[in-house]
Amino acid sequence: MKWTEKSLDELGYVSRGISRHRPRNAPHLYGGPYPFIQTSVVKHANLYIREYEQTYSEEGLAQSKLWPAGTLCITIAANIADTAILAFDACFPDSVIGFIPDPDKADVRFIKYLFDALLQKRFQSFSQGAAQDNLSMEKLLSIKFPVPNITTQKRIADILSTYDDLIENNLRRIELLEQSARLLYKEWFVHLRFPGHERVKIVDGVPEGWIKGKVADFFNTTSGGTPSRKNPEFFSGTINWVKTQELNDDYIFDTEEKISEEAIQKSSAKIYPENTLLVSIYAGTNIGRTGILAYPSASNQACVALLPTHKDANPFYAQLYFREIRNTLINIAQGSAQTNISQQTIRNLPMIMPSTDIMNAFISIVSPLYAQMKTLQLQVIKLKQARDLLLPRLMKGEITV
């Protein structure tokens, strides 16, 4: 079947988003009922954008534009040519281009997959050398790419979206499991409504038999390091090397870069055991993000590793603690010159250690939740691998559908 060369504007309506002000310059434009999608939200979405971090007020909407559900969002600044489809009506800034397909010419899912398979790297190369590595709409519309008829587009999109539907279902299940663990932590250790709390005295602000201390009283902390990039052999090994952007409050199975045994020996990087908790201390709003190692791994210096020293200290308990206090850490970082925090800040954070029986009861409940999250996350990884193997062959017309 013949595929025809088309530009994006030949397949539907294309335009830039609108946003004339940043939040710090016009706070009255924010906090209303209209979702406002930034490039980072597009980057971290799967097939559809189902969540958002900011909203516009009526005044915000008046100086922007409300795009309908089903619009393909394409980033042209910060991160180039990331794409995701709106699951709801939303606004977005001029760093995002919107594409609304002509229903007789294009399936929006197919166009999104086309970007993933063939176009993203081409558009990223277009943007290199620009003052801010941005992608203009003119460049976006200058490229023609092969597309089949609408029936074939839908068949291809149906095949690939089956994988994404399973991925999104697993991600929703993970989110519910995370929520259950966090709610239990809050109930027991913030509100102090743990089993039998009615019969326990409060002594010095904590239940009798509990320890009131600091993180350093229960965990040893250490940071990683970055091997010299002057030696490319250091980055040709098999050891996972974690960077802060890879901390997403879940398990870490794989990393973008891997280092060698020699890199470990000749740098301050070190290998941490499985189930070690990592906490980000750099990168602004990434402050306090966590990850639990699924396998022994190393990290850069922007991650602090927590290794239990107290008999009842546990990485699940510690991760839920850091998720609870994240806003506190962000506020501390914003008060410093570099918007970072130090390892010493982590060590000095106040932490309580419950009695052994309460900790054992808590871990007996959350351990199965974490085991399910780990299994589901691994399934997501395998589904993405299977989809991504199929993706380029379908997008090049190598498989008949």
In the chain, % helix, strand, coil (3-state, to 5) comes to: 40, 25, 35
Residue 79 has pLDDT above 90, yes or no: no
Go through 226-236 and write b for each residue having 16 or more CB atoms within 10 A of its CB, e for each that does not.
Answer: bbeeeeeebbe
Mean pLDDT of the 108-134 span: 76
Which residue intervals of the chain bear CATH 3.90.220.20?
Answer: 4-146, 211-353
pLDDT of residue 131: 47
Q: Which element (helix H / strand E) includes 387?
A: helix 356-395
Nearest to 265 by CA among 293, 231, 309, 303: 231
Sign of CA dihedral 148, 154, 155, 161: positive
pLDDT of residue 208: 96
Residue 388 has pLDDT above 80, yes or no: yes
pLDDT of residue 337: 61
Residue pair 32/56 in contact (Cβ under 8 Å)? The answer is yes
Q: Which of 24-28, 138-142, 385-389 has the highest mean pLDDT?
A: 385-389
Mean pLDDT of the 272-281 span: 97
pLDDT above 90 covers a percentage of the chain that reads 82
Mean pLDDT of the 168-193 span: 97
Q: How far apart are CA 383 and CA 164, in angstroms?
A: 8
Question: Model confidence at 401, in pLDDT bands (50, 70, 90)?
Answer: confident
Question: Model confidence at 338, in pLDDT bands (50, 70, 90)?
Answer: low
Residue 336 has pLDDT above 90, yes or no: no
Q: What is the CATH number of domain 211-353?
A: 3.90.220.20
- Whether domain 4-146 has CATH 3.40.50.720: the reply is no
Which of the pair, 147 or 126, is modelled with greater confidence?
147
For the chain, the average pLDDT equals 93
> Which bin fits 341, alpha (ψ -120 to 50), beta or left (φ > 0)?
beta
Q: Is 339 helix (H, G, I), strand (E, B) or coil?
A: coil
Residue pair 246/282 in contact (Cβ under 8 Å)? The answer is no
Question: Model confidence at 148, in pLDDT bands (50, 70, 90)?
Answer: very high
